[in-house]
Structure 1
């Protein structure tokens, strides 16, 4: 069972920040063999959703209020540690991300830059494609938008 924390950049401890960056590099750079600018200057304005199991970071996403990185609120850097996959952590992470945006940001319009192969996964949460597929950092992506509430 995941336990959740949400923190702003300034609330993150050095150890938490290190663990976040380590996980993002482990999956996005090493596992997906993608060379890109991981530290992009957006962490400072994001809310960081951290999901732990037995004290180890297993799931993570960045949450943005509307107007910060896009017109709508948005979710980024959606990630589950490889050893945590197939355990429902991805679904729990997305549900927690959406719920936080709805309850704390009071926003029901959410944008995500999704990797194309996860299209069906995001559609199961009500996200709909709003762009054609495009290449971003060597991986096919598409923008998806969600309207409405989980409730």
Structure 2
């Protein structure tokens, strides 16, 4: 039996987090979403420390990562993930309101798998998050265990 991995949503804006959860709930994946409200909490989750010390081991299916977050910003979280051999295979989708070219360029330079600008319009935001959740959380096939260590 295959265990469904959770989606890790890193979002400090409560409204955006609530909308993202509602969008993913439409496709019955909301029960598999962990919401972190700052970059430090994301790292605690990934490294099973702090309030996540007792969580079941294993990486999430994908991290939806906001760029501008308190404590540790999204780029630093991305840098940490992609510099850790155990975390590097996790797909990271930057889900941000930033349209700045330098944010886009740095995200990809650090290893982001996708960069999605949050639509301002409510229904477009819901649709975008729903499609991202279905693709990265359900459709996408991750690399087999051990493959990342061969590169």
The alignment's TM-score, normalised by the length of structure 1, stands at: 0.36
Q: Report the TM-score, using the length of structure 2 for normalisation.
A: 0.36
Higher relative contact order (CA 8 A, sep 6+): 2
The structure where helix makes up a greater share of residues is 2
Between structures 1 and 2, the one with greater strand share: 1
